């Protein structure tokens, strides 16, 4: 993975900060945030396989119509190709790896065939020890594979802000490829590749992907996910 530039990394830090604030705002507004939003047919008789995105406000498409976020775009693409999958968006703004650890049992009440893990960014903002983040993500993955042994895992890589220091950012970055190797998971090196730090691909706040930005993120995801849908 190419090294993140300093301006991009600073904006990435702002993205993480906004993710946390977005979560607080949703809770203050009494928004139902735990129930996964099904992006395609909700029929109980639907026999399609399940792709579940488990993440934070990036998955939740903060600031735009969720159908235009990268998860919604992925669902539409799969439907347009006639592939036998449905997509569930379990993104929760402000979520940390510790929060995901407490939420995973509830999520696993439903069958999962492909599990896309998009957590860790808010840990970096808080300066949480990368070893703790690693352990939380490891726990989440282990719960998934223990219950659904044939489930395929996809891990979305994240970056830490540069003010945490070179050692921290390096150790944090290393969490994701390490987990991918340990669990034979597919890896998206950096979810916001090509979007972070690009004004035209972000909302007016300059920190969240806009509709066009989510299209780029969707391509980052598709580059990894596509191969799992035909195997």
What are the distances in angstroms from CA 52 to CA 13, 37, 207? Answer: 26, 10, 25
Q: Answer whether residue 36 is part of any domain.
A: no
What's phi and psi for 85, nearest 5 deg? -135, 150
**First-to-final CA distance of the chain:** 25
Interval 188-207: pLDDT, tens? 999 999 998 799 998 887 77
| Candidate list 57, 59, 93, 133, residue with the active-site label | 57
Q: Catalytic annotation on 57?
A: yes
Burial grade of 7 (CB within 10 A; 0-12, 13-18, 19 or more): exposed
Rounded CA Rg of the chain: 16
Q: Answer whether residue 16 is part of any domain.
A: yes
Q: How confident is the model at residue 208 (pLDDT cuts 50, 70, 90)?
A: confident
Q: How confident is the model at residue 221 (pLDDT cuts 50, 70, 90)?
A: very high
Q: Answer whether residue 84 is part of any domain.
A: yes
Tell me, rounded to whole angstroms, the distance of Cα 43 from its chain centroid. 25
CATH of the domain at 116: 3.40.50.1110
Q: Answer whether residue 122 is part of any domain.
A: yes
What single DSSP character describes residue 184? T
Q: Answer whether residue 1 is part of any domain.
A: no
Q: Catalytic annotation on 46?
A: no
Interval 86-142: pLDDT, tens? 999 999 999 999 999 999 999 999 999 999 999 998 899 899 999 999 999 999 999
Q: Answer whether residue 80 is part of any domain.
A: yes
| Candidate list 18, 113, 208, 214, residue with the active-site label | 208
Q: Answer whether residue 169 is part of any domain.
A: yes
Q: Answer whether residue 164 is part of any domain.
A: yes
- Average pLDDT in the chain: 85
pTM of structure: 0.82
Q: Catalytic annotation on 208?
A: yes
Domain count, the chain: 1
Give the domain range for residue 150. Answer: 6-31+42-229
For position 191, what pLDDT does the model report?
Answer: 95
């Amino acid at each position: 993975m190419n090294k993140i530039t300093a301006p991009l990394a600073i904006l990435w830090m702002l993205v993480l900060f906004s993710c946390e604030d977005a979560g607080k705002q949703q809770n203050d507004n009494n928004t139902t945030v735990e129930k996964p939003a099904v992006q395609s047919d909700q029929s109980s008789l639907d026999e399609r396989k399940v792709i579940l995105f488990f993440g934070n406000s990036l998955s939740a498409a903060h600031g735009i119509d969720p159908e235009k976020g990268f998860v919604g775009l992925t669902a539409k693409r799969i439907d347009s190709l006639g592939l036998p999958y449905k997509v569930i968006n379990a993104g929760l703004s402000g979520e940390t790896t510790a929060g995901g650890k407490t939420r995973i049992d509830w999520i696993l009440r439903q069958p999962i065939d492909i599990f896309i893990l998009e957590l860790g960014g808010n840990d970096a903002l808080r300066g949480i020890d990368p070893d703790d983040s690693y352990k939380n993500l490891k726990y989440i993955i282990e719960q998934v594979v223990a219950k659904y042994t044939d489930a395929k895992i996809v891990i979305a890589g994240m970056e830490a802000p540069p003010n945490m220091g070179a050692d921290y950012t390096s150790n944090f970055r290393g969490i994701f490829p390490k987990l991918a190797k340990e669990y034979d998971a597919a890896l998206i090196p950096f979810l916001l590749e090509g979007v972070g730090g690009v004004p035209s691909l972000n909302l007016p706040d300059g920190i969240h992907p806009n509709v066009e930005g989510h299209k780029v993120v969707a391509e980052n995801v598709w580059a990894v996910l596509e191969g799992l849908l035909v195997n």
